[in-house]
Structure 1
Amino acid sequence: MRYSICSWTFGNTPIEKVFNIVSAKGYKHIDLQAKVDDYNWQEINHLARENSLNINGLLCDSGWPEEEKDLANKNIVNRQKAVDYFKRQVECVKVVEGNYLVVVPSAVGKFHTMGGNKSEDLKWAIESVAKLTDMAKEHDITLVIEPINRYESCIVNNSDDVLHVVKEVNHPNVKALLDTYHMNIEEVDMEEAFLKLKDWVEVVHFADSNRRGVGRGHINFQKIVHAMKKIGFDKNVVFECLAPGPHPFNAEKGEETERIMSMYAEESLDKLKTWFS
């Protein structure tokens, strides 16, 4: 099992300090957001390794309302621009020697469809993801499709949706992600979701029902851990929560962000290691 943590959850904390904090808390892996032009990726990889960290994967940069980053955009020109930008993100994963790119098929923050119905938007998204598979295969990188709750994205919200996407794309380099925070909103049975996706789930994001650290909400994690053990999951477990505060798309919650996230990172990792030991 690889235990990782998402760097973006530390808000405005400089990336060098984030690396230092999470390494000191016992992490060996870290996930970054694929903001392609924000970093010199070779230098970032070197800096991570100086802190005894491997960059496990990157989270896609696809924030709404930037339509040129939306793989399910109604405008074919925008969709192709999004595909081209995602190819650059795949290249960044390769540079940092990562294993995967997390892909949200419809831009994060876009909570309305653009076509006549959800099926039309899904068709556009699936076509766009399929255009990334050759590059993913060439670089031995997995495209990991993440369902996000209906308040944050509009077409891939639950385990049924992500299963539909991976089956339609039908490529060995396309897998699925489950996130306990989003599952708590969207799934009827969280344990069943793992059983349903047992052949496809590549990454699991952990956060509690209030998106705080593990154990600080009401999710029954013992059932989730049981389901993960039942399917023999031993891949990528990633801690992705937020300090309390408004704005779900901005991790910066004020001067206490760094302290709170450092605390969540430590106590959540301890729990995960105990549960999966």
Structure 2
Amino acid sequence: MDIGISTFVWVSPFSSASFDILQKAKDIGYDVIEIAVEDRELIDWEALLKTCRNLGLKVTVSGAFGMDRDISSERPEIRANGLSYIIDCLEIANELESPVFGGPLYAAVGKTRLVSEAQKRQEREWCLENLHLAVRRAEVLGVTLALEPLNRFETDMINTIDQAIALVDEVKNDRLKILLDTFHSNIEEKDIPASILKLGDRLVHIQANENDRGTPGTGHLDWLGIRDALQTIGYQGSLVIETFGAPSKELARAASIWRPLAASADELAGEGFEFLKKTFCGRAAPLSG
């Protein structure tokens, strides 16, 4: 199983000036770097692909869904911008040879309100309309959309695995599957291993985060149960640490990041890798460099 780490651990937004973290990830031993696309104009994509290839790093791509990238918004121009962003990221994922593009595709992070059932139904219809369009492009590019449930404090739309399954199954396309983030599941699911078993082959990507979004292995998550459930369903994707070492103001507000989550990003990356490698791959690889 490949072990990965998100650029969010070190920097936000990721840019060409941040390419040094690719070498850091490789030196620690990571197989995968997850590129968080906040502003595509900040990144030299050709140079990024060349650097990752030279380092032997695989790539996955994740999204940053601010309020102007909401495919279920009441405002049609925002829905259009959200769809355009998803399609742009699918193109980027294809270029970087990423098998997935993941995130809360359905709405903006931080959009939390108590709304009527009629409004919920309408927003769901707008979401479905745009997801159907997005999967058509995903089919052409050979990239899978990975829809991520978020906890109740970050979205009012898709919080649980059951809600995610219902939405994905309604689209009925193999290019739309589910991303499970163990941080969010710790809040919303009664039993994370059981949730993994329920997902089965709908599960295409894992963000392996501790219950407090700190270093994996330092909290109370049932990592052995998670490992055994993944083995049971034959999961073949990556395990990626995604936490926030230096969040932008918008990201900090949306994800409620008000304090450091570890002594340093480098420490979290190194210790988190050692834990995940030992737990999920049966051995801990020594740090190099």
Task: State whether TM-score is above 0.5.
Answer: yes
- Find the partner of 1:179 among 159, 178, 181: 181
Residue aligned with 2:156, SS: coil
Matched to 2:160, the amino acid is N
**Structure 2 residue aligned with 1:36:** 40
**Structure 2 residue aligned with 1:190:** 192
**Structure 2 residue aligned with 1:275:** 279
Matched to 1:218, the amino acid is H
Residue aligned with 2:71, SS: coil
Residue aligned with 1:108, SS: coil
Report Cα offsets for 1:58-108 as digits up to 9, x if no partner. Answer: 1113112x2xx1011112332122212221111111121211111311111
Quick one: distance in 1 between partners of 2:86 and 2:193? 31
Q: Which runs of 5+ in 2 are unaligned?
A: 283-289
Matched to 1:42, the amino acid is E
| TM-superposed deviation, 1:170 | 0.7
Quick one: distance in 1 between partners of 2:84 and 2:63? 13
Quick one: distance in 1 between partners of 2:169 and 2:179? 14
The root-mean-square deviation of aligned C-alpha atoms, in Å, is 2.6
Residue aligned with 1:222, SS: helix
Q: Is residue 232 from structure 1 mapped to residue 234 from structure 2 by the alignment? A: yes
**Structure 2 residue aligned with 1:103:** 103
1:64-75 matches, cutoff 5 A: 64=67, 66=68, 69-75=69-75
Residue aligned with 1:198, SS: helix
Quick one: distance in 1 between partners of 2:18 and 2:51? 9
* Larger RCO of the pair (alpha carbons < 8 Å, separation 6+): 2
Aligned length: 272
| TM-superposed deviation, 1:120 | 2.9
Residue aligned with 2:200, SS: coil
Native 8 Å contact 1:114 1:121 kept in 2: no
Quick one: distance in 2 between partners of 1:252 and 1:112? 20
| TM-superposed deviation, 1:258 | 9.6
Quick one: distance in 1 between partners of 2:48 and 2:257? 21
Q: Which runs of 5+ in 1 are unaligned?
A: none
Are the structure 2 counterparts of residues 253 and 74 from structure 1 closer, same or farther at C-alpha, using a change threshold of 3 Å? Answer: closer
Matched to 1:199, the amino acid is D
| TM-superposed deviation, 1:160 | 0.7
Quick one: distance in 2 between partners of 1:53 and 1:173? 24
Quick one: distance in 2 between partners of 1:144 and 1:101? 6
Quick one: distance in 1 between partners of 2:264 and 2:79? 38
**Structure 1 residue aligned with 2:286:** none
